[in-house]
Amino acid sequence: MATFKLFNAPQSTCSQRVRYALHAKGLAFEEEKLDLFRGDQLRPEYLAINPNGVVPALVHDGNPVIDSAVILEYLEDILPGEAPMRPADPLQVARMRAMMRFIDEVPTPAVRVPSYNLAFLPHFQAMSETEFQALCDSKPLRREFLMKMGRTGFPQTEMDEALGRLQRGIDRMASWLSESGGPWVMGEAHTLVDVAIMPVVVRMADINLGHMWHSYPAIARWLERTRATDAFRKTYYEGSLLTEKYPHLKQALARAGNDEHSRPAVAVGA
């Protein structure tokens, strides 16, 4: 019998993609939750599985598969008949992959900027400069990102750029829904595109950026439909949202949201 073990972190958007796909396909899997602040992803035993030192990583019958987009495609390759999320038409597959590339290049990295400034910055501020530099140097895929942030947070120019990229992502998603007629991004069928962009939209809603799609009711309907799925409920267990992990963040966002002159997600560190 095939065995699956997922190494991931509850709040990791890339981990959430893979958890959703596994649940959607009805796969039984062992979940190992890594504490990223404790550095679990940099332990030698994990680096032997994923030398990039990031989550998630899926181990199938002892063989590691890394990178969330790669894992999603891998699950379709080995289980094409279980809740298929990839079109049968090669042209549609190509279109789906182009959409996923856009998602991975534009909104997915952009949402990390407000996420880090709002939720993770206090952790980095508590470090010494030497400790922070060592942390940056230990992360092959995130070094430059963390160096830009520093221990004082991303500057306003970086925040503005990230918010612009997020808006472009939302605009593009709205155009896809309009072209396909919905209710899913590519039309009647739920595909990997929906899974890929889901954590970005959920994270934006969690940190008070839902106003970005107020003029796009199709996205609000898409989000409601996504949240109603059984796989979503299993994916977003307690502690998966930033506001669940960091209660002070929820309170701060609520206070900022009551101030009509503020945009809570653009605050920078001290």
Q: What is the mean pLDDT of residues 143-162?
A: 83
The pLDDT of residue 250: 79
pLDDT of 79 > 60? The answer is yes
pLDDT tens-digit map of 191-241: 999 999 999 999 999 999 999 999 999 999 999 999 999 999 999 999 999
pLDDT band at 257 (very low <50, low <70, confident <90, very high): low
The pLDDT of residue 47: 95
Q: Which domains does the chain have, with CATH numbers?
A: 4-78 (3.40.30.10), 90-266 (1.20.1050.10)
Question: What residues are paired with 6 via a beta bridge?
Answer: 31, 58
Q: Which helix (H) or strand (E) holds 17?
A: helix 13-24
pLDDT of 262 > 70? The answer is no
The pLDDT of residue 264: 43
| C-alpha R_g of the chain | 18
Q: Which helix (H) or strand (E) holds 59?
A: strand 57-60
The pLDDT of residue 183: 98
Q: Which of 81, 49, 60 is nearest to 18 (CA)?
A: 60
The pLDDT of residue 15: 98
> Lowest mean pLDDT: which of 51-60, 104-113, 147-156, 250-259?
250-259
Q: Which of 87, 107, 13 is nearest to 56 (CA)?
A: 13
DSSP string, 40-93: GGGSHHHHTT-TT--S-EEEETTEEEESHHHHHHHHHHH-TTSS--S-SSHHHH
Are β-strands 4-8 and 57-60 bridged in parallel, bridged antiparallel, or unpaired?
A: antiparallel
Question: Is residue 82 within 8 Å of 175, Cβ to Cβ?
Answer: no
Question: Is residue 50 within 8 Å of 38, Cβ to Cβ?
Answer: no
Question: What residues are paired with 5 via a beta bridge?
Answer: 30, 59
Question: Residue type at 56?
Answer: P
Cα–Cα distance, 69 to 96 (Å, whole number): 12
| Residue 160: C-alpha distances to residues 110, 123, 167 (Å) | 10, 23, 11
> Lowest mean pLDDT: which of 39-43, 129-133, 139-143, 207-211?
139-143
pLDDT of 22 > 60? The answer is yes
Question: Residue type at 38?
Answer: R
Q: Which of 198, 203, 269 is nearest to 240 (CA)?
A: 203
